[in-house]
Each structure stands twice: as C-alpha cells, then as structure tokens.
Structure 1
Amino acid sequence: LPEIRRFIDENLTHDELKRRKTATVCYLINELKFRVGDEKDEEEEADTVGASSLRAEHICFNEDDTVTFDFLGKDSVRLLLTAKLDEKVVKNLKEFMKSSDGNTLFDEVNSSVVSEFLDEVMKGISAKVFRTCHATDAVESKLKEVAVSNDAPEYFKKHIATLANLEAAITCNHKRTISASWQQSLEHQKERLKERRKKTRENTRIYKQRVLDTNAKFEERVVNYEAKLEDDKAKLLEYQKELEQREKDGKSLEGVKKRVASKKKTISTGRKRIRDLKAKHRESIEKLKEKLENRQQRDKEMIEKTELQIEARELTRDYNLGTSLKSYVDPRVYLEWGKRVDYDWRNYYSSTLEKKFNWMDPKPAEEEAQ
C-alpha cells in the first residue's frame, strides 16, 4: 500500500486532467474508504453516490480547512463525514467543482478507469481489492489487539471476531438503515438478561438452602445416633458391673457375658454408623457444592454470553457486517487467528460463506460425507 499511495500522490498534480481526477478518486477511496460509485441510471436506482460520482452538492469546504462529505451511500444510507485532506486534493476538488456544472466532478472516471490506473503500479489490483486490503487490515489489527486465550469460551471468541468484523464495516462505511423493530428486539434481549440474573440468584439460593437442609438433617441424625450410643455405653457399664458382682458371688456368668458381648457389638456398630453417616454427609455436601459451582458457572457463562450479544447488537446497530465479511475481508485472517486461539472459523461464517471459502481450509472427505 505505501507504494500505491506514493503513486496516487504523484498523480494528484499530473498535467492530464483525467489522470488527476483518477488519482483524486483513488485518494478518496484510500483515505476515506469510499466506494468507487460508478454513475447509475437515476430512473432505475436511488441516487447513491461513491467517490467517482460525487457532485458539488455533496461537498462542503469548512473554515477549519476540513472537508465535509454528505451523500447517500450503499443501500441509500446517508454518509456524513468530515475529514482533513491533503492540500493537493482540496485544490483538485475545488477545481473540479467549478467546472462540473452540477454534474459529477469526475466525469470519465469509473471503476474500470480506476483499476487500469492502479494496475500501473501493481498488477491485478482493482478498486475493490484496494478497499479489501483496508478491510482486512482493520480485522487483522483488531484480532491482534485483543488477547484471547485458547481456553476462552467459544462465545467470547465469536464476540471478538464480530468486533473485528465491525472494524472492517466501519473502515468501508458499510452502513445500514436501522430496522423499526431493532430497539424492541434489544429491549427484549435486555429483559431476558434481567430474567437470567434473577434466575441465577434463585438457583444459588435453592442450592444453599439444600445445603442448610442437608446439614440440619445430618445434625439431627448424629444427635440421635450419639444419644443411642451413650445409652448403649451406659448399659454396657451396667452389664460389666453386674458381671463383676456375679464373679464375686460365684454365680453363673454365661448370660451376663453374652449381654456384654452383644452390647459391645452394638456399640461398635453404632460407632461405625456414625462414622459412615459423617462420611456420607461430607460426600453429599461436596456433591451439592459441586452442583452449585457448576450451576453458577453455567449461569455465569449464559449471562456473559447474553451481555456480549447485547454489546455487539448495540455496537453494530447501523453497520452491515455481512457485506464486509462476504466481500471485503480476506477469510484467511480469521483462519490463521482461529489456529492461534483454537477457534474454528466456520463457527463464525454462515453455511453459505463457509462453502464459498472452503477452498482455503477444506474439510476431510469423511466430514463432508456426514
């Protein structure tokens, strides 16, 4: 691009009028990212304008040496832009306006003329390719600007891809008319986010209550088991005293010994039951906590995803990202970025565009067959 810019700059002061006009159109395409804008039949199409079809009514020279452009661009969307331009360009515009007599400033200049002009400095480059370079650079710069880890959620990676695509749309002035239902749709999405946050709080409350209920039941059972154990220990002590007394009295010991052995077994079983109960309780609490953490993580991701969707909707409100993605952004930028951050570019492109760009990253035959 630097070489092309030098070539354009050199021709802004060329002696040949048509060449000077062509260079000026290329300057506007390069610096302001205007479309070429070949002349249209006004009876068949809206009066949309590009660089080569600008008329005097579309240009205003301001006191601060800036220039304001005001015209209908692609899809009849108004483009209002004020910029500081090269002095040579301003001089040319003023000259061309004086002789335009209400017609286009750049008569005889169209996309073919522009492409032939650019072809002199770089073979094969056209006006559209020129804009494609800028759009692709915008996407690539944005993707490099934002740090994305390999383990980041898919929805976050898609959001970054959208922000990069937005940069291309802004660069190329791919504006669109905001639909009448846009605001209503946005409010509906915000309401869903509000409900999701409310549901998240309710889910957390439910799980925490389940932990409290489980603890309460556990403590109640432990108290009962320990009380039973204390009763059994007291009974064992009673049997042992009876056994000692019968030994002193020379009486039969068989029955008492059986009761002592039985009670010892009961106590051992009771202790084991308490240990098992505590172990089972710890396991239950851990499972509940794990479920709570998983639930909170899912809710957190759903909230983050919805927040990013709302952010993207608001940022892209009046930009047509589809045009940029389809016709101006080199898809290999997304392919290479996806390799770096472990993201499949197909997850961002529509099925139609995926087929269109499949040449750069063909699926294995077995996947295609599925």
Structure 2
Amino acid sequence: INFPLLEILPHFFIILLFVRWEEEKYEDGVKWKFLEHNGPYFPPEYQPLPDTVHFYYDGEKVKLSPAAEEVALFFARMLDHEYTTKKVFRENFFEDWRKEMTDEERCLIQDLDKCDFGEIHAMHKAKVEARKNRTKEEKQGLKDANQKIVDEYGYCMLDHHKERIGNFKIEPPGLFRGRGEHPKQGMLKKRIQPEDVIINCSKESRIPVPPAGHCWKEVRHDNSVTWLASWTENIQGYIKYIMLNANSKLKGEKDWEKYEVARKLKTCVDNIRNQYHLDLKSKEIVRRQRAVALYFIDKLALRAGNEKEEGETADTVGCCSLRVEHITLHEQLDGNKCVVEFDFLGKDSIRYYNKVPVISKVFNNLKRFLKNKQPGDDLFNRLSTAMLNKHLSSLMPGLTAKVFRTYNASITLQQQLKELSNKSDNVAEKLLSYNRANRAVAILCNHQRAPPKTFDQSMTNLQGKIDARKEQLSLAKTELKEAKKEAKKKGNSDPKLQTVVKRKKAAVKRCEEQLLKMEVQATDREENKQIALGTSKLNYLDPRISVAWCKNMEVPVEKIYNKTQRDKFAWAIDMTEADFEF
C-alpha cells in the first residue's frame, strides 16, 4: 500500500511509448540511416577500328560512322556463334543496326547478306588470342588496374560501415541473346549513360560525381529500398539495379526473411490446400478458377505470371495468364485418367511441356473453363495475379504465389536428399546424390538450359581419361597379383616383398577410387546436360537444407557452394546445425 506506484507509472508509460515508436519506425520500412557511394562504373567509350581493318558491302570498302561501326563490331564478334545464323537474330540486328546508321549508310546498306564483317571478326579473334598470351607482367598490370576500379567503385559506406557492392559495373552495350528462342534476340542493348541512371544515397552523404559532361537522371534519398543505383534497359524495359554484395548484412537478412516465410507456409499449407479443394466446388466461377490456378502453382511449381509491360512482344505466360491453346485435356492418356497436357513459353521464352494427371474436380473445372472459348482466349478469364496474391496474403501474411515455388522447391530437395543419400558412400557418390536431388527441383521448376557447345568434346575427353584409368587399374591389378605370387613363393617371410605387396594394393585402391570418381562425374554431366542446377540452388532452395546435409554427411560445404555462393549464404553456413529441418 505504501509503494509509490503513482510516481513510477508515468515513467513506465513513457518507456512503452518509446518502444512502440521504435517499432513503428522499423515497420515503416527503414533499412538504413546513412548511405554513401561513388555511383556505378561505366564501360569505356568505343574506340574506332584501326585504319587497316575494313568493313565491306557488296565487295566494296565502306567507312562506317562510329555509331554504326560499333554495332557492326558487336555482330562480327559473334560470327562463330550459331546465333548469327538464326533468322530472327539477323532480322532484329539488321533493323536496330540501321537505326544507328547515317542516312547515307541506310541508303547504301540494304541487305545483311551482302555485308562482309570478315576483317573485323579476324581482328577480334586476334585480340582474344593476344589476351590469352599475355605476359605475367601484363596480367599483373591489368589486375592492378582492375583493383583500382574496385577500390573506387566497389565499396560504399552503409551506416558508417564499409560494405562491398555487388554489381557496381554497368553492362556494356552489345546484342541481346536471351534464353531459348527469344523473339527479341539480336536487338541492340544500348549504351547506358549517366542521364539514364537514378542514384540513391542519404541526404547527409556526398552525392556521387557523374562522368565529365554528364548529369544523373535523378538523385533520391530513399532508405526504404536497398539499391544504390537503377536504370531501365531498352530491350525488355526491365529496371536494373546496383545492389550490395551478397554477403552484406541487409542482403543476408532479406534472404533469411524469404526462406522463413516459406518455412512458415509449411505450418498452414494443409489448411490452404483444404480451402482450395473446397473452392473447386464453389458456386462462384472466380473461386473455382482461383482454386485450379492454386492447384497448378502448388503441385507443378508454375510461376503465377504477371501482366505484360507495354510494348512487350515475347509471348510468355504464367499460370494466371494461360490461354486455351496452352492446354489439352485427355480423358485417358498413357494409362492415366484426367491428364492435362501443357505446352507454353514461360519466363525467358523457355518452353514448358508437361503431361500431368490431375484430380477429377480439377479436370472437370478445366472442361468448364474451356467451354465456348477460342484458342486465344484466357483460360482463367476471371482471375489475375494481383487477385490471387491478395487472396493468398489474406490466408497468411506475406504469402504470394512465389512463396509456394520456394516452399515446394525446398521441401522437394529435403525429401530427395533423405531418399537418395547414403552416409557410407564416398564424397563423389554423395555429391551425385545431392545433384540428383537438386535436379528433381530443377525439373519441377522447369530450369532448362541448352547443352553447352563443348559438351560432346568434354564428354569425349572425360571418356578418354576413364579408359586410360581402366587400363592403369588393370595393370596395377596384374602387378599386385605378380607381387603376391612372388611373396607366396618366399613363404611371405621377406619384409621387402610384403612392403611391395602393400604398395601395389594401395595403388589398386587409388586407381579404383579415381576411376569411380570419374565415372560418377560422367554420369553427373550426362544427367545435367539440359538442366540448370544453379538457378534453383541460388534462388529457391533454403541454403540451410544444403548446409545441414553437408554437416550430416560429412561433405565439405565448399563442394556444394563456391566462394561467391558461400559469401551469399554466410548467414546460413554460420547458424545451421546438422539436424536442421525446413
């Protein structure tokens, strides 16, 4: 009763208000308080061709203007590549090249087939060869020059701590390649100028100085984002960013948050699945469409798909933007009932082709959605990606269709590792199991790639090494047999002969291990020929699953992640125990 409660209550409420204000300030999106940097590093300006190197049109020498000559060089550098034989690539290149020409050049150069880039191509090849044959002193000079660039542009001050910047160099101009049969391949990636770049830094910092004679597009002081500079590239209209290095504190926190949201989905995914299964029978068509789309996103890890930017010509789609022409329904196919056949171009114009048995409710709904529609009509005509994500966020804070992709990729990896891994295997066999588990995820996410141009030659070389190792093993076994025979003659009493036998046994064992390693490597390469393992490993798989597997299987983390990747996932490597479960 005598305790002075009334005297301390005001102080208590002041403390509560202060804590609440700090929480609100954080929730408002504050990422940093101070950011200072020197802006991006721009590639050097174009240097004209020497007087001894010429471009020819219809057999005649033509002196091109600098802008047209630079674009001609981009094409000449690629003459050894199959891209320059593709009709779409050539047409897009020629159209954009003519835009860089003078009126006089446009009047003259009308046909790409009459253009001769031979001398320019030969000059480029000579430069490549010269780079390969640089002296030790030349290489060191280049290394020192690059280090100066890194020292000036590769670091920033973030909250008064020096942090490494990731991609501080702006990509030089060139010809767009794209992935798959991209409709924009061959188009000119224009040179980015300071006038295209938005700089982001704190108000109190020193604003980066643009190159002489230039100015920035804009200077912002937005501490709710983590990028230092941005610009819009001209091919796809995508915004490009200069970000902090992968191992920075902010990037690590962002990665951790992404995977924690996916882990949180694990606790409520059954309820969400029950909900969309109930919605398959809803009286509202929009609920049925949403349920079928969610079923595909969940079971097939399809991207949700976003609305096209104005001027976008690539006919790529995701789940919500599928059209009638992209699916075919089969009551019976290959011994399965209710099969949906997908065939469409996904992200980066990579073809998605799959035949999937589905539950009857989904199949019957799809038949209903297709009714009275033309091939070019939307399959989910009442649904958009925004509507789907709004619904998902109401089921779990932070949940989007992309989280399902991360969740299913990570769960698949964890399940596959449990099924495929064997602790008694050697390291090479364990790595093969890891890559097979990763490959299951890559197939689920449709991460394809074209086989490397050098694949066949590489496999031939590896097979040659395997054959040579087999001969070496056969010889080693013969020598061991003879050594044992000789030792037996002497009654196994001669210590020198016993030492020889031990040495021969060790040689046989070493050859067997090396042969197994090579054979596993050949199997791994063949299986991964058209699958891109890196995309899922770096963007969709919780790194803690891989680190825990490494610790549990006694495999060095360096075998899974290279130096750059270890920097990116330093937070996971430091905190993960062998018994981690996603």
The TM-score normalised by the length of structure 2 is: 0.47
After the TM superposition, which of the residue ranges 74-83 and 49-58 deviates more from structure 2?
74-83
Cα distance between partner residues in 2 of 1:148 and 1:66:
35
Return closer, same or farther for 1:321/1:76 CA change in 2, 3 Å cut-off: same
In the alignment, is the contact (CA less than 8 A) between 1:74 and 1:174 conserved in 2? no
Give how far 1:67 is off.
1.7
Q: Give matches, 1:219-238, under 5 Å.
A: none
Output the amino acid matched with 2:296: L
Q: 1:356 to 1:19 in 2, by over 3 A?
A: farther
The one-letter code sitting in structure 1 at the alignment partner of 2:408 is H
Indicate the structure whose relative CO is greater, using CA pairs within 8 Å and at least 6 residues apart: 1
- Aligned mates of 1:349, 1:107 — CA distance in 2: 43
**Residue 37, structure 1, aligned to residue 309, structure 2:** no
What is the distance in 1 between the residues matched to 2:292 and 2:564? 37
User: Structure 1 stretches (4+) deviating beyond 6 angstroms?
Assistant: none
Contact 1:169–1:321 (CA under 8 A) maintained in structure 2: yes
Q: Tell me the secondary structure at the aligned position of residue 71 of structure 1.
A: strand
Deviation of residue 35 (structure 1)? 1.7
The DSSP-based 3-state class of the residue aligned with 1:291 is: helix
Picking from 380, 383, 397, the partner of 1:106 is 380
Q: Of the candidates 141, 148, 169, which is equivalent to residue 415 of structure 2?
A: 141
Partner residue, 2:546: 334
Does residue 22 (structure 1) correspond to residue 22 (structure 2)? The answer is no
| Structure 1 position 57, deviation (Å) | 1.0
Secondary structure (helix, strand or coil) at the match of 2:292 reads: helix
Q: 1:217-245, CA deviations, whole angstroms, 9 ceiling, x for partnerless residues?
A: x98xxxxxxxxxxxxxxxxxxxxxxxxxx
For residue 163 of structure 1, what is the aligned residue in structure 2?
436
Whether 2:271 is the aligned partner of 1:3: answer: yes
Distance 2:505 2:353 in 1: 51
Q: Could you list the per-position Cα deviations for residues 109-145 of structure 1 after superposition, in whole angstroms to 9, with x for gaps in the alignment?
A: 4544333222222222222221122111221112111
Taking a change above 3 Å as real, the CA distance of residues 349 and 113 of structure 1, as seen in their structure-2 partners, is: farther
Q: Name the aligned partner's letter for residue 407 of structure 2.
A: C
Aligned counterparts of 1:120 and 1:89: Cα–Cα separation in 2: 23
Separation (CA, whole Å) in 1 of partners of 2:541 and 2:373? 35
Q: CA deviation at 1:162?
A: 0.9
* Aligned residues of 1:335 and 1:344 also touching (Cα < 8 A): no
Matches within 5 A, 1:80-99: 80-98=353-371
Per-residue CA deviation, residues 27-70 of structure 1 (Å, 9 max, x unaligned), is 11112221222243595463233212211111111242322111
What are the within-5 Å matches in structure 2 for residues 1-370 of structure 1? 1-41=269-309, 44=312, 46-64=314-332, 65-98=338-371, 101=374, 102-107=376-381, 109-149=383-423, 152-206=425-479, 282-362=494-574
In the alignment, the residues of structure 2 paired with residue 49 and residue 177 of structure 1 have an alpha-carbon distance, to the nearest angstrom, of: 20
| Change in CA separation of 1:59 and 1:287 when aligned onto 2, cut-off 3 Å | same
1:66 counterpart SS class: strand
After superposition, the Cα gap between the structure-2 partners of 1:351 and 1:82, relative to the gap in structure 1 and judged at 3 Å, is same
Partner Cα distance (1:48, 1:26) in 2: 19
Query: Comparing 135-144 with 46-55, which one deviates more in the overlay?
Result: 46-55
Give secondary structure in 2 for the equivalent of 1:173.
Answer: coil
Cα offset for 1:107? 4.8
Q: Which amino acid aligns with 1:35?
A: R
Report the more deviating stretch, 296-305 or 90-99.
90-99
Structure 1 residues 85 and 208, CA, compared in 2 at 3 Å: closer, same or farther? closer
Q: 1:15 to 1:136 in 2, by over 3 A?
A: same
Q: Distance in 1 between matches of 2:437 and 2:484?
A: 45
Q: Classify the secondary structure of the residue corresponding to 1:120.
A: helix
- Rg larger in structure: 1
CA shift, 1:296, in A, is 1.4
Query: C-alpha separation between the residues in 2 aligned to 1:191 and 1:113?
Result: 57
Unaligned runs of 5+ in 2: 1-268, 333-337, 576-582
AA at the equivalent of 1:174: H
Specify whether residues 122 and 295 from structure 1 end up closer, same or farther in structure 2 by C-alpha distance, changes over 3 A only. same
In structure 2, C-alpha distance between the alignment counterparts of 1:55 and 1:362, rounded to whole Å: 46
Q: Is the 8 A contact 2:286 2:383 kept in 1?
A: yes
Q: After alignment, is 189-198 or 199-208 more displaced?
A: 199-208
Instruction: Go from structure 1 to structure 2 and tell me whether the alpha carbon gap of 1:82 and 1:146 turns closer, same or farther (over 3 Å shift).
Output: closer
Secondary structure in 1 aligned to 2:395? Answer: coil
Distance in 2, Cα, partners of 1:326 & 1:111: 25
Aligned residue-pair number:
301
Whole-Å Cα distance in 2 between the matches of residues 36 and 116 of structure 1? 13
Question: Shift of the alpha carbon at 1:94?
Answer: 3.3
Distance 2:415 2:473 in 1: 37
Out of 151-160 and 346-355, give the one that drifted further. 151-160
Greater shift, 82-91 or 202-211, is seen at 202-211
TM-score by length of 1: 0.72
Q: Which has a greater percent of helix?
A: 1
Cα distance in structure 2, aligned partners of 1:46 and 1:18: 27
The answer as to whether partners of 1:176 and 1:319 remain within 8 angstroms in 2 is: yes
Cα deviation, residue 208, structure 1:
5.3
1:326 CA drift (Å): 0.9
Q: Which structure 1 segments of 5+ residues have no match?
A: 220-277, 364-370
Q: Deviations over 1:221-277 (max 9, x none)?
A: xxxxxxxxxxxxxxxxxxxxxxxxxxxxxxxxxxxxxxxxxxxxxxxxxxxxxxxxx
Q: Secondary structure at the match of 2:396?
A: coil
Shift of 1:78: 2.4
CA–CA separation in structure 2 for the residues paired with 1:177 and 1:43? 27
Deviation at 1:205, TM superposition (A): 3.6
